[in-house]
Chain A
Amino acid sequence: MLLQIKDLFKWVNSGGNRVFLLNDIDLTVSKGDFISIMGPSGSGKTTLLNVIGMLDDFNEGEYTFLDKSVHTLKEKHRANLYKEYIGFVFQSYHLIDELTVYENIETPLLYKKHSRSERKALVADMLDRFNMVGKKDLLPSQLSGGQQQLVGIARALVANPKLILADEPTGNLNSKQGTEIMEVFKTLNEEGVTIIQVTHSEKNAAYGSRIINLLDGRIIYN
């Protein structure tokens, strides 16, 4: 078992009312799972993914990640997980504006203490894989939305994470590119990488082994 969420609530207070962003979530993810989270806009998909990725906190409930309660996790341990274990793909890419494509992809490796030549090889591999070699010296602002998304994915994959948390990774890609990414995810999953993705597309969701439907912060079981 990779992670387990039990009776989790997350809310915000708005004008004296409690607005639930996540409502009584129960979720168990095992190593090697490929999960797709679906639901209408505003249903809490990103919020759930952020909580799973420990980027956001919650108000009530239990969350254990690799048998450790997330509550008790130290900053150092968490940073270590990000470094060694988890790769994020963000809905709005979140590239570092001041860095080139090459440098953006390289950044996770910097925190991992790879040697320079190793980094070079790994980044070159990624650039190759996503057909971005020609764009490697451009800044994010010089790329299209789809290209930025590809860089974001490359950055998430370069450090060989064991868990990929992807928020609409293909949202800005054309269907051919989207299929390619899904194929990449499928291969990774077959190699044992756990994947949790948020998607609006039934087709992409079908790549996964399990689908979780969200509505108003609740998981809908059918």
Chain B
Amino acid sequence: MTVEINIPPVFQAMVKGVHRIDVNGGTVGECLNEMAAKYPQLKAKLFNKRGKLPHGISIYINGENAFPKPLSKPVRPGDKIYISHIVLGG
């Protein structure tokens, strides 16, 4: 069984409408790296120059906020990762 990553609408628009992908990592960071390898156009959106999540990106695992240190949070097969890209318009 794999880990499912749910892609937020704005990133879906960058990967031809793909809404979710399955990956095999043991941590959130490994899963996101696998996703970035598959979709290099997302790399800069998922990691800043220091390899951290850029501001505005939040990660949820099975609905729970992965803050703090989201990239090192462990995940298990069957888990669902949600990437939320909250900018909020006013």
Are chains A and B native binding partners rather than an unrelated pairing? Answer: no
Instruction: Mark B residues whose CB is within 8 Å of A.
Output: none
